[in-house]
Amino acid sequence: MGGVNPYIKPAEATLPTNKYRVTFLPDGKVVEVDPAKLPYGRNGLAGSILDLAHAAGVKLDHSCGGVCACSTCHVIVKEGLETCNEATDDEMDMLDEARSVTTESRLGCQCVPDGTKDVVVEIPSWNRNLVSEEE
């Protein structure tokens, strides 16, 4: 899926201008983000954690296709949260529906690191999509 949610104000984000790395926990899979290749796919904001997860072959659930209309892409940004765009009110509203939210919680489809620092992201066990989907 993928697309635009016409009912929300689009999130603002600064895309990276240099390569950086994202580590996905618990598996420890690492993706080196190349700004020249963004977006990698069609789900979520360009350069979002969801976009990067798919590039790394990491399964992250995304029931609404990455348009900030569910909370299935909930992730916890363990390191580098300060390099990510600010969460919008719409994202915070959706996060209210997620399980076990922490102060480091974000929606993977709306969270875009700017590449000034490497990032470590934990995907909660209930958000790991065990079924491969066609992109």
Interface residues toward ligand FES, by CB under 6 A: 62-64, 66, 68-70, 72-73, 94, 107-109
Quote the least distance from Cβ 134 to ligand FES, whole Å: 16
Distance CA 120, CA 118 (A): 7
Quote the least distance from Cβ 43 to ligand FES, whole Å: 7
Quote the least distance from Cβ 18 to ligand FES, whole Å: 26
Q: Kindly tell me which of 108 and 113 has the beta carbon lying closer to ligand FES.
A: 108
Q: Kindly tell me which of 107 and 119 has the beta carbon lying closer to ligand FES.
A: 107
Q: Kindly tell me which of 18 and 90 has the beta carbon lying closer to ligand FES.
A: 90
E strands, 47-102, where? 74-79
